[in-house]
Structure 1
Amino acid sequence: MIGETGKRKSGKWKLNRGAAAVITAALLISGQLMTGCGSDQTAGKTGTEAVSGRSVDDVGNSKEKSEKSNSGEENTAGEKEKTKERAGGKAEKEAWLSSGTKGAPELSGLKPVGSMKLEYAECFHVWYYENGYKVLDIPEAGQYLVVPEGSDVPAGELPEDMRIIRQPLKNIYLAATSAMALVDAIGGLDSITLSSLDVDGWYIDGPKQALEEGKMEYAGKYSEPDYEMLIAKNCDLAVESTMILHAPDVQEMIEDLGIPVLIDRSSYEKEALGRTEWIKLYAALLNREEEAQRFFDEQAELVGGSDRFEKTGKTVAYFSISTDGMVVIRRPEDYIPGMIERAGGTYLFADMKNPAGESATVDISMEEFYSKAVDADYLVYNGTIVGGLKNLDELIGKNELFREFKAVREGNVWQVDKSMYQSTDKVSRLILDMNIMLTGGDTSKLTFLSKVES
């Protein structure tokens, strides 16, 4: 059954959200991949009060901090168990559940009983209410009331712009490709039956196999979805990336069909593990919080803390070449430079001062790139969007100046393959790859990096 969307006032549903979509697009269209969770850099400022993207009163990047209660007080074992039961949770140790409810939207007839613990993610928040209701808050995107199976939307007025998502979710249209691996990692791939990419557009196995076996169907790209298919397949949720903000009329049309649109902003996270932690948001939609917590803990343990790897003193330039010959580099605040630093390297453009705009990338001239990176120990080419390099000659073919680069002369040019952008579940493994590159480690253990041969 196609679910309701929009807000409810005086007993009526308002489905037309086009004006709001146009305004939002105008505000964000120039910064679709910006770092941070919004233009004011304050996560969770959606709803009744400003809220951190982490467990509200529990800001910090350590598991130790996130294990504490949001209110700063430890519940008794009995109270924790009651909180878990009221929230509809089943986690044995409630590793994902906190008792803090500060900032939770007020819902008529429903009492907030907890919130999701987050360690790195800053761009979403989840509150739990009695009887299994949940609210997802994604700054700059909106709030979403998740209604459990067999339950009704609470009576009374809902907060402004709150969308309704009804469980169980059986026919999701997924157009935010970075979310696919996260849903797959918690065993929820069967809930996604409609994809914005066909078989040849995927570089990860889960959706490729599902499409080949007919368990998933291509329903058109994000900007041109097959509306008739969405209706025929009883689509119950459309998950979009911020690219949908370039096509507000499409979002409006989908919502006018009664299909809620959830906008994924994981690419705005400053930490790689923050992107991976979005697995918990999708877990909340599918009631798979336990699975998500276990998976996330494994990934966090794999890459370790910020001090796991010693500094090597080696400099790294991470870049790509655009079709107009400009060099595209990452802002210092982006998660890629952070991974380079955590791997023991030094990001060459870490001292870039307040570049204009809010995008995660910055375009500079080849001459400017040359002046900074000609003596870099390593060049890492970003092949996730524009495609990889066959060999060093192809790189030199893009600009003859590359012949003079130290990394080219010494054979220290590497590249990231296309699968990394879609592999949000394990993107932090690039830290391990970078360390292997920097230390001459075992290349058979690489996940995303490969050396560009002569």
Structure 2
Amino acid sequence: MKIIVFLKKLATPFMQPIKSIYLLLLTLCIFSFSCKTEKKEAIEQKLPIPVVSEKNTSTLQHAKGFTIEKQGDLTIIKVLSPWPDADKDFTYALIPREKAAAMTLPRDAYDAIVLTPVERIVVTSTTHIPTLEMLGVETTLVGFPDTDYISSEKTRALIDSDKVKDIGQNDQINIELLIDLQPELVIGFSINNSNPTYKTIQKANIPVVYNGDWTEKTPLGRAEWIHFFAPFFHKEAKASEVFDTIEKNYNEAKELAKKATTKPTILAGAMYKDIWYLPAGESFQAQYLIDANADYLWKDSEGTGSLSLSIESVLDKASEADIWIGPARFKSYEDLKKASELYTKFAPFKNKKIYSTANTIGKTGGTMYYELAPTRPDIVLKDIIKAIHPEILPNYEPYFFKPLL
């Protein structure tokens, strides 16, 4: 998993580390809730591919973190939320390559000016990989920090054929190698505006554009960032087709979940050291549980990030929960028991009702949830519905959330 999370705003896979970047990454271990662990053999998966509809609209309905404006041949993308509590917007001008000679723009008016369609790109989060593939532009990718985190077979083939170079770690990108690759654009992300690596890249006259999809507060809001990528490749129609299909699938699953005659109580997350991290009631992870027609025990808590609780308070509230979703990095009941005997006191442990994403991994050990889930909330929702209302989707095979081993 290549995305860094801001501790108080992003409540995912329920561990909320505190100081180092590595620990920050662990926060994504809450709702998938698992982070990258030791590299193991890949588990073969048949990924549900959305069947594209004919509808073609690019109006943003769910995403709140960016806007797109057309001004003749000029496309203006404004990123409003590159990280939580950002104190400024970032404005990017996109110019068709063939129109560039005839257009003059004040450079100080934009944070980057990009010629389109982009032919050579570097992205910095595994969550960007599925979007490139959905738009059919994955061959424009020339570099990525720590390519072992990428699990997609299509992009791994490009890596194996040396068409995508490993450019180091996200916080220590090999600038010389990056410059040698001659990218026309770097898509980055950050927890604040003081990323020295990106500033160095910009000094080399390589445009850096911030992506803030991870700050969205709803599952469909995150997925709608495919529209952010589309103008860089002149793929707006394709983006609309793909997203409209995902949105339709998600809403159909949500309506299907309403047919359930029961509403199981849900526990989520796990402990990091002695603190239990789980999604706050206004987080996008909690939204998944609400849309799956579940009774999330912390649904009334405030905040869009994670809650930091004592094991005693979690036991008091959720010892008799029906189902446990997303036990962080744990792959088996034995792993949970070894980590803490306290886990065995919960009813879902005793009744074997725990579901995890940690066992769906790629060829080089990357956790598929972190790469693909943000762009495919429809799959995530169906997985959760299958876990808590199996009678509603009797023939559905879960992709991310599977019974703990």
TM-score by length of 1: 0.69
Note the alpha carbon deviations across 1:217-262, whole angstroms, 9 max, x for none.
111122111111121111111111224x386211211111111111
The match for 2:351 is 410
Residue of structure 1 aligned with 2:267, choices 313, 317, 322: 317
Residues 217 and 367 from structure 1, CA distance in 2 versus in 1: closer, same or farther, beyond 3 angstroms?
same
Provide the rounded CA distance (Å) in 2 between the counterparts of 1:443 and 1:203: 26
The answer to whether the aligner puts 1:436 opposite 2:381 as a matched pair is no
In the alignment, which residue of structure 2 is the partner of 1:361?
A: 306
Residue correspondence of structure 1 range 266-281 to structure 2 within 5 A = 266-281=213-228
The 5 Å alignment of 1:304-453 reads 304=251, 306-310=254-258, 311=260, 312-322=262-272, 324-354=273-303, 360-383=305-328, 387-389=329-331, 391-417=332-358, 418-423=367-372, 424-440=374-390, 441-442=393-394, 445-453=397-405
SS at match of 1:352: coil
In percent, how many aligned pairs have the same letter? 17
Letter in 1 for 2:62: Y
Q: Is the 8 A contact 1:326 1:365 kept in 2?
A: yes
Opposite residue 306 of structure 2, the aligned amino acid is: T
Partners of 1:327 and 1:363 within 8 A in 2: yes
Deviation at 1:307, TM superposition (A): 3.6
Question: What CA deviation, in whole Å up to 9, does each residue of 1:253-309 have, x standing for no partner?
Answer: 111111111111111111111111111111111111111111111111212254442
For residue 131 of structure 2, what is the aligned residue in structure 1? 182
Residues 93 and 445 from structure 1, CA distance in 2 versus in 1: closer, same or farther, beyond 3 angstroms? closer
Change (3 A) 1:319 1:209: same
State yes or no: 1:95 paired with 2:42.
no
> Is the Cα contact below 8 Å between 2:65 and 2:80 reproduced in 1?
yes
Aligned to 2:172: 224
Change (3 A) 1:161 1:382: farther
> Relative to 1, partners in 2 of residues 1:242 and 1:382: Cα closer, same or farther, differing over 3 Å?
farther
> Contact conserved, 1:314 with 1:345, CA < 8 A, in 2?
yes
Contact kept in structure 1, 2:91 and 2:112, CA below 8 Å: yes
Aligned to 2:43: none
Give secondary structure in 2 for the equivalent of 1:242: coil
Q: 1:321, 1:382 → 2: CA distance?
A: 9
Q: Is the 8 A contact 1:318 1:330 kept in 2?
A: yes
Deviation at 1:433, TM superposition (A): 0.8
- 2:69 and 2:125 mapped to 1: Cα distance? 23
Deviation of residue 379 (structure 1)? 0.6
Q: Which residue of 1 aligns with 2:86?
A: none
In structure 1, the gaps of 5 or more residues are 1-27, 36-90, 97-116
CA contact (8 A) 2:275 2:311 kept: yes
Q: How does 1:25-424 map to 2 (within 5 A)?
A: 31=8, 33=10, 94-96=56-58, 117-131=59-73, 133-141=74-82, 142-152=90-100, 154-155=103-104, 157=106, 160-198=109-147, 200-243=148-191, 245=192, 248-304=195-251, 306-310=254-258, 311=260, 312-322=262-272, 324-354=273-303, 360-383=305-328, 387-389=329-331, 391-417=332-358, 418-423=367-372, 424=374
Unaligned runs of 5+ in 2: 13-52, 83-89, 359-366
Confirm or deny: 8 A CA contact 1:222 1:240 kept in the other structure.
no
TM-score by length of 2: 0.77
Larger Rg: 1
What does the per-residue CA deviation read over 1:118-169, in whole Å, with 9 as the maximum and x for residues that have no partner?
12111111111212x2011111441110111122384354564532112231
* SS of residue in 1 equivalent to 2:257: coil
Cα distance between partner residues in 2 of 1:404 and 1:213: 49
* Letter matched to residue 265 of structure 2: T
1:327 maps to amino acid: W
Post-superposition shift, 1:207?
2.4
Task: Note closer, same or farther for the CA distance 1:320–1:261 as it changes in structure 2 (3 Å cut).
Answer: farther
Residues 353-381 of structure 1 show CA distances to partners (whole Å, capped at 9, x for unaligned) of 45xxx7x2232221222122211111112
Once residues 442 and 175 of structure 1 are traced to their aligned partners in structure 2, the CA distance between those partners, rounded to angstroms, is 38
1:394 and 1:29 mapped to 2: Cα distance? Answer: 28
**Secondary structure at the counterpart of residue 172 of structure 2:** coil
How many residues of Structure 1 are paired with residues of Structure 2 in the alignment?
340
Shift of 1:204: 2.6
Partners of 2:270 and 2:11 lie apart in 1 by 17
Show the 5 A alignment for 1:17-28. Answer: none
Equivalent AA in structure 1 for residue 309 of structure 2 = I
CA distance in 2, matches of 1:308, 1:403: 33
CA distance in 2, matches of 1:430, 1:95: 24
Assess, with a 3 A threshold, how the Cα gap between structure 1 residues 163 and 273 changes in structure 2: closer, same or farther: same
- Cross-structure match for 1:80: none
Answer whether contact 2:257 2:385 (CA < 8 A) is retained: yes
- Counterparts of 2:156 and 2:395, CA distance in 1: 27
